């Protein structure tokens, strides 16, 4: 069904526009010779426009059948022209019938030529508007699709190095420390489940993001042992802020992969999140070896997070990242929304 | 005879697993364990083990870089978590590699292969490392050993490379570093968008070139920003033309 017919509010607005057009058409009918009174002109124009309002919804079906990009031009022109002529014939026919009923047929004669022109124009204008509407719709769908694809890519991005190294650590622990092997299996499972689960959702609460990052860091902690120290400072107030899923974990993963893992003696990762002036502010800070070669896929995780924050929050969502000596700092700042 | 073995991995648990497998497999003596590339180069240089288990991703120096600096190279079994760049099969040099996590049986197979090639002649370490490095992965930096010191030269700081018999001289920051590698081997590892082989004996960093001048009737020289002149062969000139177009 046509979107205008699906939504009563839109339908009311649409009809109102056509009533306005009906008034203008009445004014037009009075001009040639001035033979029609306002009353007669309105009696013809208003029902005519109300009828045509619905005729002008029909191009929606045709426009969808003949999309601008793929249809052949000639076929499109012929189809729409025939439909326009048919619609105009109905329009003139109805005008005549109304003229007959109100016994003003003869005085309407002079107005027939402009009526034909107006009918054709209105119909073709509606075709053009429908194409615009479809193009708009397509681009919106594409944007949604792109966002989904991005999320899928992100989920698929569970770092294989992390996964296989963790499995290797578990393999080592099974004989030396079965208890810790089990603990690590469970934490790894939690991390994987949360990554897959959170990715499905539009928004997640900040505390869920923190839990995911914590599960990830717990696993890495077992892998790296004393080389990895983690400090988490969390302001309870921001626990319920809603954010797009998987914005913190990529930052924490970068901090391990390009930071602590590049250092012989390891180092620490500081995660700090607080609420200030209605903004959720998050800092992930780590040390790294400035002499280690720049990571190959540098900034891909950061870029992905940044673009998703911008999609959600516009210019109010920011991610800044910079290296300062041997410290790398990523800062997220987004408005704290509590409901979608 | 016990196989004298060094284990190199930055993760304690990974080293522990290799130690355990080595004990299970028998006939091995772990003479050292190292947690990073620098320690590995030092320990292997001093202890001259028969076999090294070498992690690929480590702080400071990666596994390939460590291998480059070992002369003569011992038998090496690479250990890596993920075959991201489709690591080459090491048939040519019979070096093996293990993907984490691996089973004891797979470990024993790798050990057998290593035993078989003990005592066989080895190509120079840098050649071996060049063959082991995944193809298509261009060098980000060059490592050179100078006595007990290890120099790391980032590619952006490398001015040019000059062939000197079995060695190459790497020019960087007004200093020369000698390395046992052929010029063709390093040419294959350098990004052709940044470096060009302008002569049988010279590879130049394209960003260092100030101009090209005629030298004799049909030969030319490139002049670097610091004034150094390097000869350009006819085919070298043709190569520069493909990078910069005909008008040079």
> What confidence score (pLDDT) does residue B120 get?
76
**Domain of residue A13, residue span:** 3-150
Query: Do residues A296 and A243 both lie within one domain?
Result: yes
ipTM, interface predicted TM-score of the complex: 0.81
| Residue A257 located in a structural domain | yes
Decide which of A307 and B161 is more confident.
Answer: B161
> What confidence score (pLDDT) does residue A70 get?
65
Query: Do residues A268 and A284 both lie within one domain?
Result: yes
Whether the pLDDT of residue B201 is over 60: the answer is: yes
> Residue A64, Cβ neighbours under 10 Å: how many?
12
Among B90, B115, B132, the domain-final residue is B132
Asked if B29 contacts B2 with a C-beta cutoff of 8 angstroms, the reply is yes
Query: Do residues B163 and B195 both lie within one domain?
Result: yes
Chain position carrying tokens 């002036």: A277
Any chain A CB within 8 A of the CB of B191?
no
Among B72, B99, B132, the domain-final residue is B132
Query: Do residues A161 and A262 both lie within one domain?
Result: yes
If one counts the domains in chain B, the total is 2
Whether the pLDDT of residue B156 is over 80: the answer is: yes
Distances (CA, A) of A285 to A238, A275, B147: 19, 18, 38
Tokens (6 digits) for B111: 């050990």
Query: Do residues B13 and B102 both lie within one domain?
Result: yes
Q: Concatenated DSSP letters for B76-130?
A: EEEEES--TT-PPP-GGGT-EEEESS--HHHHHHHHHHHHHTTTS----HHHHHH
Burial of A335: CB neighbours in 10 Å, binned 0-12, 13-18, 19+: middle
Tokens (6 digits) for B196: 């060009």
Q: Concatenated DSSP letters for A145-187?
A: HHHHHHHHHHHHT--HHHHHHHHHHHHHHHHH-HHHHHHHHHH
A and B: number of Cβ contacts within 8 A: 70
Query: Do residues A40 and A134 both lie within one domain?
Result: yes
| Residue A129 located in a structural domain | yes
Query: Do residues A185 and A208 both lie within one domain?
Result: yes
Query: Do residues B183 and B128 both lie within one domain?
Result: no
Query: Do residues B58 and B127 both lie within one domain?
Result: yes
Query: Do residues A209 and A145 both lie within one domain?
Result: no
What's this model's pTM, rounded to 2 decimal places?
0.69
Three-state DSSP class for residue B225: coil
Below-70 pLDDT ranges, chain A: 32-35, 70-71, 147-157, 294-299, 340
d(CA A46, CA B1): 107
Q: Concatenated DSSP letters for B142-186?
A: EEEEETTEEEEEEGGGEEEEEEETTEEEEEETTEEEEESS-HHHH
Query: Do residues A138 and A74 both lie within one domain?
Result: yes
Q: Using CB atoms, which residue from A161, A223, A262 is nearest to B59?
A: A262
Query: Do residues A243 and A128 both lie within one domain?
Result: no
Query: Do residues A44 and A177 both lie within one domain?
Result: no
pLDDT in tens, A192-218: 998 888 877 888 999 999 999 999 999
Residues A184-188: contacts with CB under 8 Å, at least 24 apart = A184/A219, A184/A222, A187/A215, A187/A218, A187/A219, A187/A222, A188/A219
Best B9, B38, B42, B59 residue to mutate vs chain A (most A CBs within 10 Å): B59
Query: Do residues B207 and B121 both lie within one domain?
Result: no
Any chain A CB within 8 A of the CB of B20?
yes
d(CA A284, CA A273): 9
Whether the pLDDT of residue B91 is over 50: the answer is: no
d(CA B188, CA A113): 80
Nearest Cα of chain A lies from the Cα of B231 at a distance, in angstroms, of 32
Among B132, B158, B176, the domain-final residue is B132
Provide, as residue numbers in chain B, all residues whose Cβ is less than 8 Å from the Cβ of A225.
11-13
Query: Do residues B161 and B226 both lie within one domain?
Result: yes
> What confidence score (pLDDT) does residue B24 get?
95
Asked if A176 and B82 come within 8 Å (Cβ–Cβ), the reply is: no
Query: Do residues A183 and A326 both lie within one domain?
Result: yes
If one counts the domains in chain A, the total is 2
Q: Is there a cis peptide before residue B101, judged by omega within 30 degrees of 0? A: yes
Q: Using CB atoms, which residue from B17, B35, B36 is nearest to A171?
A: B17
Query: Do residues B32 and B121 both lie within one domain?
Result: yes
Any chain B CB within 8 A of the CB of A254?
no
| Residue A340 located in a structural domain | no
Among A88, A117, A150, the domain-final residue is A150
| Residue A97 located in a structural domain | yes
**Domain of residue B113, residue span:** 3-132
| Residue A91 located in a structural domain | yes
CATH number at residue B184: 2.40.50.1020
Asked if B81 and A176 come within 8 Å (Cβ–Cβ), the reply is: no
d(CA A80, CA B89): 64
CATH number at residue B109: 3.40.50.2300
Query: Do residues A132 and A260 both lie within one domain?
Result: no
CATH number at residue A220: 3.30.565.10
Query: Do residues B147 and B165 both lie within one domain?
Result: yes
Tokens (6 digits) for A325: 């000596």
> What confidence score (pLDDT) does residue A206 get?
95
Query: Do residues B85 and B121 both lie within one domain?
Result: yes
| Residue A245 located in a structural domain | yes
pLDDT band at residue B92 using 50, 70 and 90 as cut-offs: very low
| Residue A81 located in a structural domain | yes
Instruction: Output the CA torsion sign for B133, B160, B40, B117.
Output: positive
Query: Do residues A29 and A115 both lie within one domain?
Result: yes
Query: Do residues B117 and B149 both lie within one domain?
Result: no
> What confidence score (pLDDT) does residue B197 get?
94
> What confidence score (pLDDT) does residue B89 get?
45
Query: Do residues B18 and B122 both lie within one domain?
Result: yes
pLDDT in tens, B20-61: 999 999 999 999 999 999 999 999 999 999 999 999 888 888
Query: Do residues B120 and B219 both lie within one domain?
Result: no
Q: Using CB atoms, which residue from B20, B101, B141 is nearest to A167?
A: B101
């Amino acid at each position: 069904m046509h979107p205008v017919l699906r939504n009563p509010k839109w339908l009311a607005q649409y009809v109102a526009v056509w009533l306005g057009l009906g008034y203008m058409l009445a004014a037009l009918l009075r001009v040639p010779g001035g033979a029609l009174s306002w009353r007669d002109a309105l009696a013809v124009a208003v029902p005519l426009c109300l009828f045509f309002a619905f005729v002008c919804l029909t191009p929606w079906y045709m426009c969808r059948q003949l999309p601008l990009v793929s249809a052949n031009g000639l076929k499109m022109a012929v189809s729409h022209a025939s439909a326009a002529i048919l619609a105009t014939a109905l329009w003139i026919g109805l005008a005549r019938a109304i003229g007959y009923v109100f016994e003003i047929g003869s005085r309407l004669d002079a107005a027939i030529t402009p009526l034909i022109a107006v009918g054709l124009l209105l119909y073709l204008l509606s075709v053009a508007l429908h194409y615009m509407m479809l193009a708009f719709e397509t681009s919106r769908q594409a944007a949604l699709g792109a966002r989904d694809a991005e999320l899928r890519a992100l989920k698929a991005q569970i770092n294989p190095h992390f996964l296989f190294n963790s499995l290797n650590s578990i393999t080592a622990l099974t004989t030396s420390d079965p208890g810790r092997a089990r603990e690590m299996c469970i934490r790894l499972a939690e991390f994987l489940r949360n990554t897959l689960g959170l990715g499905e959702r539009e928004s997640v609460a900040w505390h869920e993001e923190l839990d995911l990052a914590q599960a990830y860091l717990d696993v890495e902690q077992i892998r790296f042992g004393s080389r990895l120290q983690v400090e988490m400072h969390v302001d309870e107030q921001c626990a319920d802020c809603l954010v797009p899923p998987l914005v913190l974990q990529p930052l924490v993963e970068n901090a391990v992969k390009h930071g602590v893992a590049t250092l012989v003696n390891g180092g620490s990762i500081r995660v700090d999140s607080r609420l200030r002036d209605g903004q959720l502010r998050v800092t992930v800070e780590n040390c790294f070896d400035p002499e280690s070669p720049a990571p190959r896929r540098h900034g891909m995780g950061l870029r992905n997070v940044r673009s998703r924050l911008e999609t959600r929050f516009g210019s109010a969502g920011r991610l800044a990242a910079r290296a300062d000596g041997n410290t790398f700092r990523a800062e997220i700042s987004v408005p704290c929304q509590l409901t979608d | 005879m016990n196989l004298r073995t060094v284990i190199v991995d930055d993760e304690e648990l990974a080293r522990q697993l290799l130690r355990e497998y080595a004990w299970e497999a028998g006939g091995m003596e772990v003479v050292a364990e190292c947690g990073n590339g620098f320690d590995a180069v030092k320990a292997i240089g001093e202890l001259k083990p028969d076999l090294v288990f070498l992690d690929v991703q480590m702080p400071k120096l990666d596994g390939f870089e460590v291998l480059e600096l070992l002369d003569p190279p011992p038998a090496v079994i690479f250990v890596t978590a993920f075959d991201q760049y489709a690591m080459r099969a090491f048939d040519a040099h019979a070096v093996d590699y293990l993907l984490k996590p691996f089973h004891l049986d797979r470990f024993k197979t790798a050990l057998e292969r290593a035993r078989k090639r003990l005592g066989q002649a080895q190509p120079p370490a840098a050649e071996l490392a060049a063959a082991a490095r995944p193809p298509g992965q261009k060098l980000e930096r060059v490592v050179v050993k100078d006595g007990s010191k290890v120099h790391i030269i980032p590619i952006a700081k490398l001015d040019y490379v000059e062939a000197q018999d079995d060695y190459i001289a790497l020019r960087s920051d007004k200093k020369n570093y000698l390395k046992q590698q052929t010029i063709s081997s390093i040419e294959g590892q350098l990004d052709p968008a940044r470096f060009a082989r302008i002569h049988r004996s010279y590879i130049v960093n394209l960003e260092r070139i100030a101009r090209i001048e005629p030298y004799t009737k049909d030969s030319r020289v490139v002049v670097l920003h610091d004034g150094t002149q390097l000869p350009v062969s006819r085919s070298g000139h043709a190569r520069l033309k493909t990078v910069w177009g005909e008008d040079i």
